């Protein structure tokens, strides 16, 4: 999967590889529960601030999570009926019919990152 970082550019937001910033985001849109994983490959601590979907997000998105990750640590957030660990919501947030238009949008203390379904 291709993960992108969102950085401010001239006239808007410019995507770049998430690995370049040392943060890897991966999403499993069709799994049950859905899973959004954030891995910290930077040299320091980061905070995962918010997690949400890209395509037609629900009114309660993004979800505020405020999880601190040390270097080399990761966290997986779950959504859907079978979510039982780091649960964002018991509802599905990723639209499986949207294809590559859907994915995870993650905001951290070092920037914004996206991974598509």
Residue 17 sits in a domain whose CATH number is 2.60.40
| pTM recorded for the entire structure | 0.83
The answer, yes or no, to whether residue 2 has pLDDT greater than 90, is no
SS (H, E, C) 17-54: EHHHHCEEEEEECCCCCEEEEEEECCCCCEEEEEEEEC
Which residue segment(s) compose the domain that 22 sits in?
3-116
Count of domains forming the chain: 1
- Residue-wise pLDDT tens digits, 5-64: 444 433 333 344 445 579 999 999 999 999 999 999 999 999 999 999 999 999 999 999
């Amino acid at each position: 999967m291709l993960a992108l970082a969102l950085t401010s550019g001239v006239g808007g937001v410019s995507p770049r590889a998430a690995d370049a910033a040392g943060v890897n985001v991966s999403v499993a849109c069709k799994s049950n529960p859905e899973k959004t994983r954030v891995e910290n490959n930077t040299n320091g601590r980061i905070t995962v601030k918010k997690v949400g979907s890209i395509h037609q997000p629900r009114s309660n998105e993004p979800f505020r999570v405020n999880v601190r990750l040390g270097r080399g640590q990761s966290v997986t957030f779950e959504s859907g009926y079978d979510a039982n660990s780091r649960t964002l919501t018991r509802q599905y947030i990723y639209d499986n019919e949207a294809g590559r238009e859907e994915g995870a949008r993650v905001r951290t203390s070092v920037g914004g990152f996206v991974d598509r379904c």
